[in-house]
Amino acid sequence: MPALLDTTEDNWADCDTRTLLATIGTRNVAAISGLRVLQHKRGGVTLPVASGYKVTVDLAGNDTYTVRRVLVRGTKVFLKGERTDVYAEDLGEAAYQASCYVNVKFGDHDPMA
């Protein structure tokens, strides 16, 4: 059974979401969500993908990022993959891979298994 996602923001550092989106890259954000940003949070952003999937990007306290692929069904939020300690130069690629929910392995989750 997939893990339910803890949605508390206690573990994240403060970040400027405009800078975070620029770090991900305009073309990556366009490919992930059609330039839509679902939520600007204190520690990051949530980008809608499709079919209930979302990509969350949060700034950790050690100046690295955590990228998650999540699935929302009703009021439940399931973690479908996570990469931690992502450096800024790898952030765009990690976020894009998280958005490819149909056939791309991300973190410990393999959709083809």
Instruction: Please indicate, yes or no, if residue 7 is contained in any of the structural domains.
Output: no
Question: What CATH number does residue 43 fall under?
Answer: 3.30.160
- Left, alpha or beta for 79 (phi > 0: left; psi -120 to 50: alpha)? beta
108 or 82, which is more confident = 82
Residue 9 lies in a domain: no
DSSP secondary structure letter of residue 6:
P
Helix axes 17-24, 91-99, angle to 10 degrees: 80
Provide the domain count of the chain: 1
Instruction: State which residues form the domain around 84.
Output: 17-99
Within a domain: residue 12?
Answer: no
pTM equals: 0.85
Q: In whole angstroms, what is the distance from residue 107 CA to residue 94 CA? A: 10
State mean pLDDT over 8-14.
68
Where do runs of H (alpha helix) occur along the chain?
A: 17-24, 26-33, 91-99
pLDDT one-digit tens code per residue, 27-82: 999 999 999 999 888 889 999 999 999 999 999 988 999 999 999 999 999 999 99
